[in-house]
Amino acid sequence: MTLFGRTLEGQEIASLVSLLLVLVLWVGVWRGERDWTRWFRSWEAGRKSRRDAERAAENGRDGPAPPGPWS
């Protein structure tokens, strides 16, 4: 097999294949991490909104507490 005018032997071909497999594995792990981070951020936002609603109900208000030191 030739690549860029150079003949590649079996060991070099195996190295290229393993390098490509590691790249595919890395991309898969990165996508999983990105999806997990996205899920966690949405879960945290939902938890915060539920907690704000609970606090508002405890204080006798209908809506979420206003942001700032006066809440």
CB 22 within 8 A of CB 16: no
Token duo for residue 11: 């060991």
pLDDT tens, position by position, 22-44 = 999 999 999 999 999 999 999 99
How big is the chain by its Cα radius of gyration, in Å? Answer: 27
Which residue is listed with tokens 């991309």? Answer: 27
Q: How confident is the model at residue 4 (pLDDT cuts 50, 70, 90)?
A: confident
Classify 38 as helix, strand or coil: helix
Partner residues linked to 2 by β-bridges: 7
Q: How confident is the model at residue 63 (pLDDT cuts 50, 70, 90)?
A: low
Quote the CA–CA distance of 57 and 33 in Å, as a whole number. Answer: 36
pTM of the model: 0.53
